[in-house]
Amino acid sequence: MLTLLWLALFVGLIGILAFNRAPLWLNTAAVAAYLVLISIVGNHPWPWDVTLWVIFLGIAIPLNAPVLRRLMLTKRLFIRFQNTLPSLSDTETAALEAGTVWWDAELFTGRPDWRKLLAYPLSKLSEEERAFLDGPVETLCRMVDDWDVTHNRLDLPPQAWLFLREQGFFGLIIPKEYGGKGFSALAHSEITMKLASHCNDLGSTVMVPNSLGPAELLIRYGTEQQRDHYLPRLARGEEIPCFALTGPEAGSDASSIPDKGIVCKGNWNGEQIIGLRLNWEKRYITLGPIATLLGLAFKAYDPDHLLGEQEELGITLALIPTYTPGVEIGRRHFPLNAAFMNGPNRGHNVFIPLAWIIGGPEHIGQGWVMLMDCLAVGRSISLPSGATALAKKAALTSGGYTRIRRQFQRPIGEFEGVQEALARIGSNTYVMDAARKLTVSAIDRGEEPAVLSAVVKYHLTERMRACINDAMDIQGGKGICLGPNNYLGRAYQTAPISITVEGSNILTRSMMIFGQGALRAHPYLLAELLATRNLDPEAGHAAFDRLLVKHVGWLASNAARAFLLGISRGWLTPGAGAIPTRHYYRQLSRMAAAFALTADVCMLVLGRSLKRRERISARLGDLLSYLYLASATLKRYEDQGCPRSDLPLVQWGVEDALHVMQSRLDEILKNLPTRTAATLLRLLIFPGGRWYRPPADAIGSHIARLLMQPGEGLERLVAGVYRSADPGDATGQLEDAWAKVIAAEPIERKVDEARRLGSLRLHWRSNLIEAASKAGVISSEEAEILRQAEQARRNVIRVDDFEPQELIRATDSKRSLAPEQTGGPHIAHDDEIL
């Protein structure tokens, strides 16, 4: 029994040290002190004590003496790691070096510092940015009718194109010294969100020039001459830009583009110069059909060694005016009835001077690094903002519709099946907006979140699709019958577009999030990999040795933390934040430790084969993603002052995340090929079994009521979407009816009570409102309120219908606008392209 007590004391001592991440020297000193103690008071035979000291010294001396440790322990591991760690191509290396790591790195430690997150300041709009949102953005939304754009014109109206250019919508990110707005990432996001909430094509049109495109590339990498020439023209809308990367043979694997630029001599303005002769084929290029300035990605080659000894120069970016001989541009794709300009382009024997390379000739071959740096920012803003816009629109319209629409003499929002869908819409919208704001705030403070950009792109577009699907289910025939009064149908049609672009979501989830995050955000792995690639073996081995010691201690710490936090259900770590949500921080700390431990074991067991085990990689990516989404959710709650009405949204968002993370861990353990490792991980991660449950029904009911009742909670949730006060607008009509129906409800209850008590009797031909008024149950003013509410309700539940010939658009009504009408670039006629 005494021996068991000493053993328990030893295990407890090691566990406490590991839990608190004590350094190696402190662990060594603590074990030595333990041995001294048991030697003095343990009453053991002396050979037993001597044996323990021999074992201890045999381990402790090599571990704490770097020269001995490298010779006896880490030399073979160094060689093995050189053969086990994943190889990196040049494009993968560029992707890893792009951008920065931020809160994702904190989550990878397994011990996130919640105080650091809560203290992180969120961006705020400047007075100029707020004025732009309240002025030109609102005006632009009123100019555009979504049905007219998507059904009649297949294009924005000419006055909208003109307004976009005159008000500087294409120069939001261009610095003021070049004539642009110089707006923050938050302003860029808010503008995109408001425009997309009214008309998704309008949002897409503004999104592209301010995301990955010529302007951002010029700002970062352009020569002074290029910036001085193009940026003012882009800011004024005199140039319409597009960027061409994707082609028929290079979609998700964009780095394998077959498009070529051959360094050669050619005639230019009457002189013979060294330039590039380009041949390419691109597709899916937004703004391509009307672009005047084409950003092009291609692979450059120098077979005649005109620039140097190297023949394959690598991916290169150039700016090409679309009037250049050999450029074929102007045709359109027709993506799911969306009207934004999108199309293919080609180039045949297009000769350009080297000065057209973005950044000049010295940047030839550096295009992939340039793209990865820009994508880390642009992908964090545009698509997540557009997705959040549609989720907020789904929340607003579904909440109003379920209060207005009745079945079985009750608003449909009172039925639990509808409440379940409303709860998902409301909570997803809250989580999405929290992640959007946190990410753009990081960008505004200098971060370029390469890994988190993939997280928000994937998860926010997927949650948008889920919100739209739920909204369509709730609104039924109102959602599926297209027409001027349908505010959801086009969003439903075009939802797959954002899922597909800027890295398809399947690729992003299964390969990018964890594949990039594991090496970039892991505290030691990338440094270890670089040490094994060091051209000086001795220096590489020394660096690897130092890193490995820290890595092993970190791994042991996460194992101890995962087990002890699992046993204690998170109570061994301090909470953070407000009292109602403090326990959620503890649970996320537990999941962070479990994630860090599982990720390390999976990489150790699977090695470079993890790149092929995409389902395991995807689940590990989900763990990282849900940790980030839950972190953003809790931070939003704190930053907004912990409003009581928002608590159900926070509860649903975090509890859903915990349940999903638990499921993903279970799936990883079931599919990990090394069963011994899987069994050990299960004992460490789930010592008390799985106990996270999906959010309770009562939480969902609270969220449903929040969406159905206008108030501060709903206003915070849908803040930033376009709200029309015009009853002729589809959403304006809904909000008008919503207010009138709510005003009429107390009067309706009075009438219902009179009928129940028998003081109001109706003939089958009687009009209820007139009968109640004549019987004195309600006043004439109350009767008028009921009539207005009933008429407004009927207007909302009505769906559009047409004469058959109205659905066949005449050729003239389908034509896009010619340049003299828009004052802008040529837009091809639809009868040429459809």
Q: What is the DSSP string of 469-504?
A: HHHHHHHTHHHHS-STT-SSHHHHHHHHHHHHSSS-
Is 703 in a helix, a strand, or coil?
A: helix
Q: Give dist(CA 166, CA 146) in Å, integer.
A: 21
Q: Can you tell me which residue has the tokens 């792009």?
A: 98
Taking the chain, what is the end-to-end CA distance rounded to the nearest angstrom?
Answer: 85
Residue 321 and residue 241: Cα distance in Å, rounded?
9
d(CA 139, CA 728): 16
User: Up-side HSE of residue 106: CA atoms within 13 Å toward CB?
Assistant: 15
**Residues 6+ away with beta carbon under 8 Å from 818:** 826, 827
Under 8 Å between Cβ of 212 and 371: yes
Rounded-to-integer distance, Cα 425 and Cα 754, Å? 37
CA 300 vs CA 226, 282, 368, 471: distances in Å:
20, 16, 12, 48
CA atoms of 783 and 791, how far apart (whole Å): 12
Q: Report the C-alpha gap between 716 and 646 in whole angstroms.
A: 9
CB-based burial label for 278 (10 Å; 0-12, 13-18, 19+): buried
For residue 346, list its beta bridge partners: 281, 328
Is 515 in contact with 617 (CB distance < 8 Å)? yes
DSSP-derived pairing of the beta strands 293-301 and 241-244? parallel
> Which tokens is 671 given?
């599919």
What angle do helix axes 367-404 and 214-221 make, rounded to 10 degrees?
140
- Quickly count: other Cβ atoms within 10 Å of residue 379's Cβ: 25
116-123: long-range contacts (C-beta < 8 A, 24 or more apart)? 117/631, 117/635, 118/576, 118/577, 118/635, 118/638, 120/438, 120/441, 120/442, 120/635, 121/441, 121/445, 122/437, 122/438, 122/441, 122/639, 123/184, 123/185, 123/186, 123/437, 123/440, 123/441, 123/444, 123/445
Identified catalytic residue from 448, 502, 528, 655: 502
- Distance set, CA 260 to CA 363, 369, 437 (Å): 16, 18, 40
502 is catalytic: yes
Residue 119: count other Cβ atoms within 10 Å of its Cβ.
9
DSSP string over 157-206: -HHHHHHHHHTTGGGSSS-GGGTS----HHHHHHHHHHHHHH-HHHHHHH
Cβ burial 759-781 (10 Å sphere, 16+ → b, else e): ebeeeeeeeebebbbeeebbeee
C-alpha to C-alpha distance for 573 and 19, rounded to whole angstroms: 10
646: nearest Cα among 654, 148, 521, 76: 654
The answer to whether the beta carbons of residues 204 and 340 sit under 8 Å apart is: yes
Tell me how far apart the alpha carbons of residues 177 and 784 are, in angstroms, rounded to a whole number: 59
Three-class DSSP labels, 808-832: CCCHHHHCCCCHHHHCCCCCCCHHH
Sign of CA dihedral 576, 581, 583, 589: negative
Under 8 Å between Cβ of 353 and 265: no
Looking at the annotation, which residues are catalytic?
A: 502
